[in-house]
Amino acid sequence: MLRQVASGDVSVEDARAALEGVTLDEETYQSAIDHGVYNKVEPGTIIRASLALNGTSALVILTFLWGVGWTLYWAGSMTYGLYNGWDQQQLSFHLAMTMVTLIVMGIIYLKWVAPDIVIVKNRRRKFIPPKDPDSWHKYEV
């Protein structure tokens, strides 16, 4: 309800009218928080940590086009410099700018495109059976 009010889908007055008469004591509130945080889940369960923004937004697409363009520019100019004998400082600058552009694109991908999904994998308990002392062999060198 708070997200809908914050986004403007629901007005404050409508939200108050919808929540009128609803009571929530501290014990119920705390148990709801603990339920989502402290419950053990089964192995293989997929949990969505939060809702990621839509990866097809215009700003993300424009940023990726911008990043591809600059990456091609810096990598192409570095290749041109390799063939024309530029010094190492200039070539390393072009390589660094290529890497920075790729890193910025990766950060944007992880932040706004990749979903926030956690797959729970629990480790199995180790079981070591007792060793029968009569089955031991004494080796002499």
pLDDT averaged over the chain? 79
pLDDT 10s digits, 53-74? 555 678 888 999 999 999 999 9
pTM for this one? 0.50
Token readout for 55 is 């990866």
Q: CA 91, CA 13: separation in Å to the nearest integer?
A: 62
